[in-house]
């Protein structure tokens, strides 16, 4: 958006870690933001523990959020680092 400043951050993901960006999947009319974040954290942790790749992790998040009704667009982006 014009006139908006966005902070920049550079970092490296640790081995077997992930960065998950979630738009409108953790909250909705039936779920507060705080409750949604409490649900999403363990889902991501379990996905990492299970060795899921980025696409499988995003699918798990989306599948678990089906019960929450959303009236807006949604997006989940997962960056997954796996060193072999």
Kindly report, residue by residue over 13-46, the tens digit of the pLDDT: 888 788 888 765 556 666 677 777 777 788 888 9
Question: Nearest-CA neighbor of 36 among 49, 23, 51?
Answer: 23
Question: Nearest-CA neighbor of 47 among 64, 34, 32?
Answer: 64
39 located within any domain: yes
Beta-carbon contacts of 58 under 8 Å, excluding residues fewer than 6 positions away, are 20, 76, 77, 78
Query: Count of domains in the chain?
Result: 1
Structure tokens at 6: 């966005």
Domain range spanning residue 75?
A: 17-81
The predicted pLDDT at position 14 comes to 87
DSSP letter at 68 equals: S
Q: Is the pLDDT of residue 64 over 80?
A: no
- Model pTM? 0.68
* Section 55-83 average pLDDT: 75
């Amino acid at each position: 958006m014009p006139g908006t400043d966005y902070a920049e951050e550079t970092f490296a993901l640790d081995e077997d870690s992930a960065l998950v960006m979630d738009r409108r999947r953790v909250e909705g009319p039936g779920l507060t933001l705080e409750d949604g974040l409490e649900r999403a954290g363990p889902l991501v942790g379990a996905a990492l523990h299970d060795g899921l790749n980025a696409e499988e992790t995003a699918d798990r998040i989306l599948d678990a959020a089906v019960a929450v009704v959303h009236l807006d667009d949604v997006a989940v982006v997962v960056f997954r680092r796996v060193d072999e």
